[in-house]
Structure 1
């Protein structure tokens, strides 16, 4: 239902997660994190969904961070903050560990928690008017190790330190220059840019893509913690799959393959 603060829809092979709190620039409260977990669980279980796009309603913001108006009720002290972190953390981790490709479609403000949400996605596309920043230093918030690590993995530690120390906002051009986003498009072109990417992903072999994403997540761990056996099993599954047969036949027959994820 599109009257919910966060809702899901499906467009063919593409699942959409929409943060729908435009009056507050899609700021996120605890109940929205619970809903995100349910949506991602449904999309993960749906074999017809090949990738997921995360966006914000209204055009003025992707996600502007936590709902500050609810800090007194949800994050008033260290104990309440710990509870909030546990619930929101499950949402971030569910998106980061989602087994299929994820794309953040960013319009307008992508601030604080919105930056962390975007960093949990695999790809990030934005409109020309997008603005990025981490204002934790202006609010006295603790921006923890995992958030800094993920941001630094994308843009490098020196750039991440500048962003955190200054708490300033970055333009879409700056975000592209430092590698925070993959593409910048005009307002009228952004949907088409995202659709082109999701279309390319959806027509490719799901098992191969799943392996690539799993490998990327393992690369983020120290070598001694990486599950090499799991990746080897996934690699073997690709070569044993019907899709591998289909890919070879399609190549020989000079046609587009039709992959089933089997």
Structure 2
């Protein structure tokens, strides 16, 4: 059964079917630029996908056929980001959106085509896995706009791009192509534009078919290592140990013995 919900007047779309959630930034007439209401809606959409719709993995994508996201909607800046006070509120919403992707208990796959700039690039950097079409272009234009990028998003760039490429992109604001980011390890795969959605969906379906508790324990442990967070590491150890008492572990052993594909329930 397919579940669907809309947020931010339909500009953030969430669907889920067979454990695969899709979160779409749906503003194609503006290259999927993200306005303030859309930033605020992203955590709500992620919560709905994970907690209400039962997603085991989420695919993050841009609406239409051309672009992932041009980033924050600059036309709003004279109102919502006009000075330090308003910028703090705005960037709090940015950070909540990045955190919803980064800290989701399930994996998030970014499927990227066309423009992936600024805040859109930040959302992609917060994802666990990234696949891009060969026409994708990436940039962090903050230095060309005279503003500073949220520090937590800079942390995502540092981890995802590596220190040298992160510095290059933040300091110069120059656009970088998919091939360079694939070589740097930011992207796991490059496809033809027409093949992007199928490649991302295939990966999502493989993940969704695996034992959810096992995948969640792995994601938490990877986050703990990346951030050198001892508290997260202990939490991951507790969740990992609990998998051995789960129904899914019993199902996995039974399926192996019976030479059949396991059917995991997430319990």
TM range (shorter): over 0.9
SS at match of 1:227: helix
Q: Point out the more displaced range, 26-35 or 104-113.
A: 26-35
Q: Distance in 1 between matches of 2:220 and 2:234?
A: 12
Residue 95 of structure 1 is aligned with which of 58, 79, 101?
101
Is 1:219–1:226's contact at 8 Å kept on the other side of the alignment? no
Q: Distance in 2 between matches of 1:72 and 1:220?
A: 36
Verify: 1:237 aligned to 2:242, yes or no: yes
Instruction: Give the aligned partner of residue 192 of structure 1.
Output: 198
Query: Deviations 1:220-239 (Å, cap 9, x if unpaired)?
Result: 3335x433432222112110
Instruction: Please report how far the alpha carbon of residue 97 of structure 1 lies from its aligned counterpart in structure 2 after TM superposition.
Output: 0.7
Q: Distance in 2 between matches of 1:21 and 1:47?
A: 23
Instruction: Please report how far the alpha carbon of residue 143 of structure 1 lies from its aligned counterpart in structure 2 after TM superposition.
Output: 2.0
Is 1:26–1:64's contact at 8 Å kept on the other side of the alignment? yes
Instruction: Give the aligned partner of residue 45 of structure 2.
Output: 39
Verify: 1:134 aligned to 2:134, yes or no: no
Could you list the runs of 5+ residues in structure 2 that have no partner in the other structure?
A: none
Give me the CA root mean square deviation: 1.6
Kindly report which structure 2 residues correspond to 1:1-262, keeping only aligned pairs within 5 A, or say none.
Answer: 4-46=10-52, 48-223=54-229, 225-262=230-267
Q: Point out the more displaced range, 204-213 or 168-177.
A: 168-177
Is 2:69–2:120's contact at 8 Å kept on the other side of the alignment? yes
Query: Deviations 1:22-67 (Å, cap 9, x if unpaired)?
Result: 1111111111122212211111213731111111112222111110
Query: Deviations 1:174-195 (Å, cap 9, x if unpaired)?
Result: 1211111111111221122112
TM-score, scaled relative to structure 2: 0.93
TM-score, scaled relative to structure 1: 0.94
Q: Distance in 2 between matches of 1:228 and 1:118?
A: 24
Is 2:21–2:59's contact at 8 Å kept on the other side of the alignment? yes
Q: Distance in 2 between matches of 1:161 and 1:98?
A: 27
Instruction: Please report how far the alpha carbon of residue 209 of structure 1 lies from its aligned counterpart in structure 2 after TM superposition.
Output: 0.2
SS at match of 1:62: coil
SS at match of 1:42: helix
Count of aligned pairs: 261
